[in-house]
Amino acid sequence: MHYVTEDELREAYGTCPFEKYKLPEDARLTPSARQFLIDFRIEFEGDERGPKPHGEARGIHGGPHREPTVDLGALVFDANLLGARLRLLARRALGVDNTVARRTERVGRLWQEARSASDLVTADGHADPAGGPPGPTPVPTFDAGIHPVFFEMASVHAQIGRYARSWARAKESLGPDEARVVSAWVSEATTVCELLEEAISNAEEEV
């Protein structure tokens, strides 16, 4: 099973813009990829088992009503990608901000090595029902005194936030158990982003 990601769609769209998209056989859209198609008003079909948006995409009509479902395998796929990105950030932050390096390595390894959705729920993790996805991405001050790794932290924050917001929306289509897993992951993603926000803020104060 291949999961088509938002990055794949953005790259294809950047090469040659399109108004319609047909999902290949034996493939599914990740929530962020589906949201990209909706946001860009691109007609699409072939993702009957994917998460449902608040409104149907223009020109695409659904079949008989049925309980929407989300394959949490797509969450694992997204987490694997973000985990690899976090671990790269952790390596680059080592020696610059060791607190960020250690914590992003811990979470990044967990996400990168996950093989099932349950692997994403840590013993010390928690789902905050009242909590939400990460806030706006911080914008570091352009100053020679601020190490480039803090700009990379902002980039990673933006990536995690984009995926977390997509999954927070997709949670509406899940049953209680699946929603709990997604809530826990979104909560962890928000915690990581808050760590990056604090690190960037501290770096700016030291300039």
Identify the DSSP state of 134: -
Residue 61 has pLDDT above 70, yes or no: no
Q: pTM for this one?
A: 0.75
The alpha-carbon radius of gyration of the chain (Å, integer) is 18
For 86, list phi and psi in degrees, rounded to 5. -65, -40
C-alpha 11/C-alpha 5 separation (Å) is 10
| C-alpha distances in Å from residue 21, one per residue of 10, 105, 147 | 12, 37, 41
Model confidence over 15-24: pLDDT tens digits? 888 889 999 8
Considering the chain, what is the average pLDDT of its residues?
84
Determine the average pLDDT of the residues in 62-88.
76
C-alpha 73/C-alpha 169 separation (Å) is 16
Two tokens, residue 1:
């099973």
C-alpha 186/C-alpha 88 separation (Å) is 21
Determine the average pLDDT of the residues in 103-107.
97
Residue 34 has pLDDT above 80, yes or no: yes
Residue 12 has pLDDT above 90, yes or no: no
Vertex 184 angle, CA 8 and 94, to 5°: 70
73-93 and 176-205 helices, crossing angle to 10°: 20
Residue 96 has pLDDT above 90, yes or no: yes
Nearest to 33 by CA among 167, 187, 175, 146: 167
Contact 189, 160 (CB under 8 A): yes
